[in-house]
């Protein structure tokens, strides 16, 4: 079913993918549409593909609108006020983790193994901070076969990150050193690069979504624990440190509180939607 409210959810997902460490999958999980999203992606190859396309269309439109419009605001905030902006997202992430734990009724459903899985997920995502290359990455030109293979797998891994909560696809591009090349390809409409990355993304989405569906059916609690760990670990990825004068620090604290408040409002919205559907 086509739902216009999913357009705004898609915009939220698109905005989140602009920030390294915050993925569209995280926002989808927060908004309560994560499993529906995975089901819709898997359903594109079934006889009921029309129903799933109708679910995905407003999300895709929303993501596109965010990238074309709101992205300018986010980019400006990240350039002019990076510390408060990132603290807003940190507040959002920390504020939503208790809600996700409550959703899975962790007090009764979690065993020591699940806590270990959660910790492992946090360590995996948090450890990506050690992989950052502080030196500038040059744009690839005169691409060889090996470069195209790298771009293909970069698209594959980035699409996996887009689905899995915790790490953004743009962050994967940065880690693999292909971000400037992909951005230039978008601006110059380099079909060879865009086609290579695009094929990787499409295949990655198809395969990863099926794997996640299987894990949710067979190991729901463990999968939820791992994803919560991914989300918690992303705090270490985007943490900018606390520096500056009194005004900047105060602004960061306020932004953090606003992020937490936003998480609370999203929790209320999610519960109302669940009550209306129930």
- Give residue limits of the domains in the chain: 5-277
> What is the rounded distance in angstroms from the CA atom of residue 20 to the CA atom of residue 137?
16
Considering the chain, what percentage of its residues have pLDDT values greater than 70?
84
> What is the rounded distance in angstroms from the CA atom of residue 172 to the CA atom of residue 128?
9
For CA atoms 9, 13, 18, 23, give the dihedral sign.
Answer: positive
* Whole-number pLDDT of residue 187: 67
Kindly tell me if the per-residue pLDDT of 191 is higher than 60.
Answer: yes
Dihedral, CA of residue 57, residue 62, residue 64 and residue 66, to nearest 10? -170
The SS3 call for residue 17 is: coil
DSSP 45: T
Question: pLDDT-derived band of residue 165, with 50, 70 and 90 as boundaries?
Answer: low
Arithmetic mean of pLDDT over the chain: 80
Instruction: List Cβ neighbours of 211 (8 Å cut-off, separation of 6 or more).
Output: none
* Residues 190 and 151 sit within 8 Å (Cβ to Cβ): no
Kindly tell me if the per-residue pLDDT of 51 is higher than 70.
Answer: yes
Question: pLDDT-derived band of residue 55, with 50, 70 and 90 as boundaries?
Answer: confident
In this prediction, residues 199-209 reach a mean pLDDT of: 84
Question: pLDDT-derived band of residue 231, with 50, 70 and 90 as boundaries?
Answer: confident
Locate 178 and state its tokens.
Answer: 């292909």
Kindly tell me if the per-residue pLDDT of 103 is higher than 60.
Answer: yes
> What is the rounded distance in angstroms from the CA atom of residue 266 to the CA atom of residue 181?
36
Locate 53 and state its tokens.
Answer: 């396309």
In this prediction, residues 89-115 reach a mean pLDDT of: 86
* Residues 24 and 37 sit within 8 Å (Cβ to Cβ): no
Question: pLDDT-derived band of residue 199, with 50, 70 and 90 as boundaries?
Answer: very high
Kindly tell me if the per-residue pLDDT of 249 is higher than 90.
Answer: yes
* Whole-number pLDDT of residue 75: 66
Higher pLDDT, 66 or 222: 222
- Residue 146 neighbours by CB distance under 10 Å: 8
- Residue 4 neighbours by CB distance under 10 Å: 9
* Whole-number pLDDT of residue 74: 72
In this prediction, residues 208-232 reach a mean pLDDT of: 84
Kindly tell me if the per-residue pLDDT of 233 is higher than 50.
Answer: yes
Residue 255: burial class (beta carbons within 10 Å; 0-12, 13-18, 19+): buried
Kindly tell me if the per-residue pLDDT of 241 is higher than 50.
Answer: yes
* Whole-number pLDDT of residue 213: 79
Question: pLDDT-derived band of residue 52, with 50, 70 and 90 as boundaries?
Answer: confident
* Whole-number pLDDT of residue 143: 78
In this prediction, residues 225-237 reach a mean pLDDT of: 83
* Residues 158 and 24 sit within 8 Å (Cβ to Cβ): no
Which of 80, 29, 20, 33 is CA-nearest to residue 239? 20
> What is the rounded distance in angstroms from the CA atom of residue 171 to the CA atom of residue 177?
10
* Residues 17 and 159 sit within 8 Å (Cβ to Cβ): no
The SS3 call for residue 75 is: helix
Span 122-140, pLDDT tens digits: 898 788 777 655 444 466 7
> What is the rounded distance in angstroms from the CA atom of residue 231 to the CA atom of residue 101?
12
In the chain, which residue ranges form alpha helices assigned H by DSSP?
5-16, 24-30, 34-43, 49-65, 71-80, 82-103, 106-109, 112-126, 145-163, 169-176, 179-188, 191-218, 220-238, 246-277
């Amino acid at each position: 079913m086509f739902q216009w409210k999913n357009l705004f959810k898609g915009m939220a997902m698109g905005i989140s993918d602009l920030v390294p460490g915050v993925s569209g999958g995280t926002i989808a999980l927060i908004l309560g549409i994560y499993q529906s999203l995975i089901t819709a992606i898997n359903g594109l190859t079934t006889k009921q593909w029309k129903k799933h396309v109708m679910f995905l269309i407003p999300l895709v439109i929303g993501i596109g609108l965010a990238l074309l419009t709101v992205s300018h605001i986010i980019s400006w905030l990240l350039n002019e006020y990076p510390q408060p902006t990132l603290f807003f997202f940190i507040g959002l992430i920390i504020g939503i983790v208790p809600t996700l734990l409550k959703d899975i009724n962790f007090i009764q459903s979690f065993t020591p193994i699940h806590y270990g899985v959660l910790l492992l997920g946090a360590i995996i995502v948090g450890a990506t901070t050690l992989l950052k290359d502080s030196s500038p990455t040059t744009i690839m030109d005169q691409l060889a076969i090996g470069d195209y293979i790298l771009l293909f797998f970069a698209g594959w891994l980035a699409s996996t990150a887009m689905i899995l909560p915790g790490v953004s696809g743009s962050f994967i591009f940065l880690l693999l050193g292909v971000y400037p090349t992909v951005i230039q390809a978008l601006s110059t409409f380099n079909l060879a690069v865009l086609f290579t990355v695009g094929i990787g993304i499409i295949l990655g989405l198809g395969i990863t979504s099926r794997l996640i569906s299987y894990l949710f059916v067979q190991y729901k609690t463990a999968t939820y624990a791992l994803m919560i760990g991914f989300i918690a670990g992303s705090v270490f990825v985007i943490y900018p440190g606390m520096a500056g004068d009194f005004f900047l620090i105060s602004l960061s604290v306020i932004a953090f509180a606003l992020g937490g408040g936003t998480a609370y409002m999203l929790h209320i919205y999610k519960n109302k939607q669940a009550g209306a559907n129930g």
